A and B are shown apart, each in its own frame.
Chain A
């Protein structure tokens, strides 16, 4: 079975396979915030599920690993620090799965040309090395939080360990080639390795999913807190405004009382003065009358 080899070099490559050709859009990456991001991730899962050939499955997982790393780098540029850890862990889980699929292909696939399988294995190993280099370069970035760097270092370590698997496979192949083991024994041992790697890949994926769930919950909690705080601030603002209004009204009322009091006092004074003047006028009249009587 002739395999369609894929581009070795990240960020370049053109595949010609008849019909309309789509340039490898390795430089284009969909943002994790894009509306259809979740849809495209589901499409990946379906494509993987519908793919039967183990080598093809390994290639797909390797592509997804590269995609996750590109998305992580884009997330750093966007300042989306929360997504970085998740994406890098998922990239590691994809790499793990690719390796498990490759091992399983070697343990079961009699249809594949061994030389082609070895070529694919070498290509996957090269791409793994490139991803490790890219991750290592990320550690130099100053705009990356310390926790993110710790997580990246952990992932680099785990990816490095995958190289040991390649050595284990090579060892078995060497034993087969030298006649130390039979083909059946080779397949049996390779199958055991495949099962072990599949378990590890499954565990990685579950951890990545758990982390994603936790991250979503944290985001939701923070959003709820933010909304509660906003609501509290709004309530406080309203209360303060109500109090200020109350004070303003009370002061207005006091001023009004004062004005009324002053008006009353002025009126009272006016009345008293008027009474005094009347008294004086009356006294003057009485005096005039007395004088007139005397005359």
Chain B
């Protein structure tokens, strides 16, 4: 075998190696995507997608005029509701407060409202306001027994970050 043939063979072998490595990349990307997590809930009418996270489970999707999806996690539940985009959070807070009795406010910020019932084994409610699209915004309502709230906090953060 002369030098030219050897050189050609080596070049071919190198090319094959390169192609082989490159061919791995797309499948690595696909695997990476598949490990990003599947969808927990999706609603195309509201352009809403929630990825699986922190073991939140889908509980129900109520047949109501606005969007009302309920997720559960242990002793906590989350209600994700739609509101018209022309409404302020101040408005929304007023409506929520008018609907309930015997509560004490824990905190009230620009985009959050927290309160709890006055029972000894109180239930805590945390409301988050999230801008969504031109037509609707979202309010995400977390409810849990006060005794379970500290354990719930990381799951609240997680869910808020996985709502698109």
Interface residues in chain A, defined as those with a beta carbon under 8 Å from any beta carbon in chain B: 1-4, 6-7, 15, 17-22, 24-26, 28-30, 34-40, 42-43, 46-47, 49-53, 56, 59, 63, 67
Known A47-B143, A51-B119; judge A20-B105 contact (CB<8 A). yes
CA distance A80 to B98 in the complex (A): 20
Distance from A30 Cβ to chain B, minimum over Cβ atoms (Å):
4
CA distance A25 to B65 in the complex (A): 26
- What are 13 residue pairs bridging A and B, where the CB atoms are less than 8 Å apart in the complex? A1-B120, A20-B105, A22-B103, A24-B101, A28-B98, A29-B98, A36-B92, A42-B70, A43-B79, A47-B143, A50-B123, A51-B119, A53-B120
> Do the beta carbons of A46 and B79 come within 8 Å of each other?
yes
> Do the beta carbons of A4 and B123 come within 8 Å of each other?
no
B162 at the interface (CB under 8 A from A): no
Known A3-B120, A50-B143, A51-B121; judge A39-B68 contact (CB<8 A). yes
Distance from A50 Cβ to chain B, minimum over Cβ atoms (Å):
5
Residues of B within 8 Å of A51, CB to CB, are 117, 119, 121, 123
> Do the beta carbons of B105 and A22 come within 8 Å of each other?
yes
> Do the beta carbons of B68 and A63 come within 8 Å of each other?
no
Distance from A39 Cβ to chain B, minimum over Cβ atoms (Å):
4
Identify the closest chain B residue to A20 (Cβ). B105
Identify the closest chain B residue to A4 (Cβ). B118
> Do the beta carbons of B92 and A25 come within 8 Å of each other?
no
Q: How large is the interface on B (under 10, 10 to 19, 20 to 34, 35 or more residues)?
A: 35 or more
> Do the beta carbons of B87 and A15 come within 8 Å of each other?
no
Residues of A within 8 Å of B105, CB to CB, are 19-20, 22
Residues of B within 8 Å of A21, CB to CB, are 104
> Do the beta carbons of B104 and A20 come within 8 Å of each other?
yes
Residues of A within 8 Å of B70, CB to CB, are 42, 46
> Do the beta carbons of B66 and A52 come within 8 Å of each other?
no
> Do the beta carbons of B75 and A63 come within 8 Å of each other?
no
Nearest first, the 4 closest Cβ-Cβ pairs linking A and B are A40-B99, A38-B64, A28-B98, A20-B105
Identify the closest chain B residue to A37 (Cβ). B99
